[in-house]
Structure 1
Amino acid sequence: MIPIANILQPLIDAAEAVITFLHDDVGFGWGLAIVGLTFITRMVILPLSLKQIRSMRHLQQHAPELKKLQEKYKGDKERLQREMMAFYKENQINPLASCWPLLLQLPVFLALYQLLNSDDFKADILAAPPAGFLFVDNLTEKATGVELAVLIILFIATQMGAGLVMSSRVQDRNQRLIMFGLPLIFAPFVANFPAGLAVYWISTNLWTLGQQWVVMHFWPPPDPKQAKEEVVAAKPPPSPPRKRKRRA
C-alpha cells in the first residue's frame, strides 16, 4: 500500500514552497506564512465556491417544489429518490456541489500536516525563529494548556460565526443543529494536531466568515414565500378550455 505522504508529496512540496517563499522572500513570520497559504488556497478554489453558492441559491429557489415531492412520496422512499433525482436533472441542480470546496481543502490540510511533522521542516522553522505565532510558542508541536484552550475557543468561535451568518435565513431545525454542533464535535481534534494546523483551520474559518457575510449582504437567499411565488410564476399558465362547437 502506497503511504499517503507519497501520494501527497507534490502538494507537500507546493505547500512548503509557498510557506518558504512567504517567509524568506516576503518577510512573513512562519505563522503568518501559514495564514498566507490558507488565503492563497481559498483564492484558488474561489471560482468553485461561487459555483457552489449559485447551486445553493438555485436549490433554495426550488425548495417549495422539493417539499411537495417529499410530502407526496413520503411513504415510498425509492419513488421519492427517483422523483428527486429526476427533479434535480430537469432543473440542472447539483446537490453535491456544496461538498467540493471542503473536499478540495482536505488534501491541503493533510499536506500541511505531513509538512509540519517533517523533521527537515521543523529544523528550518527552529533555525529561523520565531517558531511561534502570536500566543503560540511552536507551530510544529501540539498546543497545551492556555495555548490549547485559546485555539479551541477561536476554532469554535470562527466556525460558529460562519454558521451564524448563514443561519439567518435557514429555517430547518436540523440544519441549525448541524451548523452549531459540528464545531463542538471537531474541537477536540485541535488538541491532537500541530498548532500550525489549528492556525490554518482558524484562518480558513475567518475567510469563510468573511465570504459568507459578503454573499449574504450582496446576494441574499430568496425568502421561502418569495421563492414559492417565483416558482409558481415561472410555470406556464394552464391553457384555457377549448369551446365545443354547437351542432346546428
Structure 2
Amino acid sequence: MSESAAESIRFPETLADAAQEIVSGAAGATYDLSKEIVLAVSESFPWTAAVQYVIYATHVVTGLPWWLSIALTTVAVRTMVLPLVIYQVKSTARFALLRPDLEKIKVDMEQANYDPVALAENKRKMAELFAKHKTDPFTPLIGALLQGPIFMCFFFGLRTMAEKMDSFKEGGAFWFTDLTTPDELYILPFITTATFLITVELNAVDGMQGQPNQKTMKNILRGMGVLFLPLTAQFPKALFCYWVTSNLWSMLQGALLRNKKFKAYLDIPDTSHLGTPAPPPTITSSKPPARKAITPPPGVSFNPGDSKKARRLVH
C-alpha cells in the first residue's frame, strides 16, 4: 500500500479522534459545570435555588456567557410578572381617583363622633366605592410583595454562585470579565445607581398622583439611590448584571406606563389631573363673618364711629 493511501486511511481516524476529544472535553466541562451548580444550590433556599437553576439552564441551552445568561433570565422573570405589575398600576390609579371621596367619608365619620349607626353607613359607602372602582386598599401593595422576594432570590442566588462557581471567573466581558470580584473601576455600581435614580423619576409615583405620601415616597427612594453607590461597591460583578438589566427594564416599563396612548390601550385610568390633595374640610364656625371695612372716597373723611355718614356714603 502506498504512503498516500495509508495517510488517506488514517485521515478519517484522525478526525474521529479529534471529534472524540471535543465531545469528551465538552462532556467534562458540562460535568464540572453541573457539579458547580449543585454545590451552589446546596446552600440556597428553594426559591433561590430555582432562580439559580434557571440561570444555569439558560447558560447551558443558549451557550451564552454567564453575564448574558443572567441578563436574559432577568428579562424573562420581569416579563412573566408584567401582567401583575399592570394590574397593580390599574388598581393604584383607581384608588387614587376614589381617594377624595374616601376623605369626605372620613370627615363625616369624625363629625358624627364615630356613632355606630353612622359608622356602619359610612362603611357601606366605602365598600360601594371600592366595588365601583374595582380596587381595594391592599392591591397597590402587590408590587412590593412581588418585587421584594424576586430581588432577594436573585441577590442571594447570584452571590452564592459567584462564591461557589469557578466558571464565573471568566463569565463576564469587557472590563468585568471576572464576575466573582468587585468592580475596581466602580463603573457598574455607578451605572446601577444612575439607572435606579432615573427609574425613580420616571415611575416611582406612577399611579400615586393625588396621594398624600407621594413626595415622601419619592424622596425616600432618592435617598436610597444616593446610598446605593457606596453600599454596593464591594459586591461581586455578577449582581450588577441583574441590577443593571432590571433597572433598564424598569425604565422602559415606566416610560411605557406613563404614555397616554399605551395607558389607554391597557385601560389604565388617567390620574394626571390629580395634584396635591387638598386638606380635608373642617367644621365651619357658627360665628358670623366680620363686617368689611368701608373706605371713604378721596377727599372725604369721617370717624369710624360715624355710622350715619358711613351709610350715606354706601348708598
Deviations 1:164-206 (A, max 9, x none): 2235884643243234233123443312432222221221111
Deviations 1:38-88 (A, max 9, x none): 11111221221111111111112123224445667799xx99xx9799837
**TM-superposed deviation, 1:120:** 7.7
Q: TM-score, normalised by structure 1?
A: 0.68
Equivalent runs, 1:123-162 vs 2, <5 Å: 123-126=166-169, 129=170, 131-141=171-181, 143-147=182-186, 150-162=187-199
2:127 corresponds to 1:100: no
SS at match of 1:136: coil
**Letter aligned with residue 136 of structure 2:** N
Mapped partners of 2:109, 2:230: distance in 1: 40
Structure 1 spans left out of the alignment, 5+ residues = 229-248
**Letter aligned with residue 91 of structure 1:** F
Kindly report structure 1 stretches of 4+ aligned residues shifted beyond 6 Å.
70-75, 82-86
Are the aligned partners of 1:38 and 1:203 in contact in 2 as well (CA < 8 Å)?
A: yes
**TM-superposed deviation, 1:225:** 5.5
The answer for the alignment partner of 1:193 in structure 2 is 235
* Residue range with higher mean Cα deviation, 215-224 or 165-174: 165-174
Are the aligned partners of 1:139 and 1:194 in contact in 2 as well (CA < 8 Å)?
A: yes
Are the aligned partners of 1:16 and 1:115 in contact in 2 as well (CA < 8 Å)?
A: yes
Which has the larger Rg? 2
Structure with more contact order per residue of length (Cα contacts < 8 Å, sep ≥ 6): 1
CA RMSD of aligned residues (A): 3.8
Mapped partners of 1:165, 1:68: distance in 2: 31
The answer for the alignment partner of 1:111 in structure 2 is 153
Mapped partners of 1:175, 1:101: distance in 2: 14
Distance 1:145 1:48, change over 3 A: same
SS at match of 1:117: helix
Are the aligned partners of 1:31 and 1:196 in contact in 2 as well (CA < 8 Å)?
A: yes
Mapped partners of 1:190, 1:122: distance in 2: 21
The answer for the alignment partner of 1:25 in structure 2 is 61
Are the aligned partners of 2:130 and 2:136 in contact in 1 as well (CA < 8 Å)?
A: no
Q: TM-score, normalised by structure 2?
A: 0.55
Are the aligned partners of 2:52 and 2:157 in contact in 1 as well (CA < 8 Å)?
A: no
**Letter aligned with residue 198 of structure 1:** F
2:84 corresponds to 1:48: yes
**Letter aligned with residue 257 of structure 2:** V
Equivalent runs, 1:51-70 vs 2, <5 Å: 51-68=87-104
Structure 2 spans left out of the alignment, 5+ residues = 1-40, 264-268, 278-315
Distance 1:69 1:90, change over 3 A: closer
SS at match of 1:34: helix
